[in-house]
């Protein structure tokens, strides 16, 4: 066999190997989506476990290989998310990614400072009462810029109104000096308090959600995302 023929054969073998590996990888990609029956069989406790396991996969680098194109097609006729997440606008904490979930798994509302208002509450009432979501997660994160802005009483256009929604958490945290963004412990304490107060507001202002929580139909938990590790820590009241 001549040199050119050998090179051609090696190139063909390499191409075939690549194609076979690609086909095998594609076969392993997750194409399944949440169905109505699957959603109905998920309890609030199971929903929380699913999120914890998903975050553990994300942190360990063992995230699921989803076939998003296939999931788009399968969810085109309906959606059955098992959990709803209220998180900050921060670009580093996309809930679908940090919880290692696919298309159609989560309802997500995002606003700088992860606080709530009537629009968000109405959206979560839809998610829970009408669309079957079993768990509400209010997720803050470390080094939150919105919280830092509230701690410093920053003023900038409509952002000032947004940050004012975090002021109750700033006022509720005691025993820290200086009370500014330069104090990392103060900022984190305000972030934690903001999640807890947001959960309280959601229960207090929404009769629909409160009744569903009290009856055990759904649950609500707080969470804090660590931007340096990717780990989410969950907590109750």
Report pTM: 0.87
The CA distance from 59 to 23, in Å, is: 27
Structure tokens at 195: 């999640």
List the CATH number of the domain containing 48.
3.40.1050.10
pLDDT (average), residues 88-94: 97
Quickly state the pLDDT bin for 24 (edges 50, 70, 90): very low
Query: How does 4-34 read in b/e, with b if 16+ C-beta sit within 10 Å?
Result: eeeeeeeeeeeeeeeeeeeeeeeeeeeeebb
* Residue 142 within any structural domain of the chain: yes
Strand ranges in 50-102 using DSSP code E only, listed in sequence order: 83-87
* Residue 149 within any structural domain of the chain: yes
The CA distance from 194 to 147, in Å, is: 9
Residue 115 confidence (pLDDT): 97
Residue 2 confidence (pLDDT): 67
Q: How much helix, strand and coil, in percent to the nearest 5, is found in the chain?
A: 50, 15, 35
Given a contact cutoff of 8 angstroms between Cβ atoms, the answer to whether 219 and 50 are in contact is: no
**Per the structure, how many domains does the chain have?**
1
* Residue 125 within any structural domain of the chain: yes
Q: Please say if the pLDDT value at position 76 is more than 60.
A: yes
Residue 12 confidence (pLDDT): 64
* Residue 8 within any structural domain of the chain: no
* Residue 212 within any structural domain of the chain: yes
Query: Mean pLDDT across the chain, nearest whole number?
Result: 92
Q: Containing domain of residue 179, as a range?
A: 29-235
Q: Please say if the pLDDT value at position 139 is more than 90.
A: yes
* Residue 38 within any structural domain of the chain: yes
* Residue 5 within any structural domain of the chain: no
Residue 159 confidence (pLDDT): 94
Q: 87 Cβ partners below 8 Å, 6+ apart?
A: 93, 95, 108, 109, 110, 114, 137, 139, 140, 141, 225
């Amino acid at each position: 066999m001549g040199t050119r023929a050998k090179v051609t054969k090696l190139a063909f073998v390499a191409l075939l190997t690549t194609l076979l590996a690609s086909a095998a990888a594609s076969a392993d990609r997750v194409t399944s989506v949440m169905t109505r029956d699957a959603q109905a069989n998920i309890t609030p406790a199971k929903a929380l476990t699913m999120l914890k396991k998903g975050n553990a996969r994300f942190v360990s680098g063992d995230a699921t290989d989803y076939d998003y194109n296939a999931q788009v097609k399968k969810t085109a006729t309906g959606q059955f998310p098992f959990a709803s997440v209220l998180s900050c606008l921060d670009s580093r904490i996309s809930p679908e990614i940090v919880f290692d979930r696919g298309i159609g798994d989560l309802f997500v509302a995002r606003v700088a400072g992860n606080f709530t208002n009537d629009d968000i509450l109405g959206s979560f009432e839809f998610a829970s009462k009408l669309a079957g979501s079993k768990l509400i997660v209010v997720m803050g994160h470390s080094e939150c810029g919105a919280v830092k802005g509230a701690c410093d009483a920053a003023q900038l256009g409509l952002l000032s109104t947004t940050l004012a929604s975090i002021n109750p958490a700033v006022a509720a945290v005691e025993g820290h000096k200086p009370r500014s963004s330069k104090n990392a412990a103060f900022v984190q304490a305000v972030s934690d308090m903001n999640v807890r107060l947001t959960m309280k507001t959601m229960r207090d202002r929404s009769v629909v959600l409160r009744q569903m929580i009290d009856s055990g139909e759904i649950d609500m938990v707080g969470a804090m995302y660590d931007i340096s590790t990717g780990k989410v820590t969950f907590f109750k009241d």
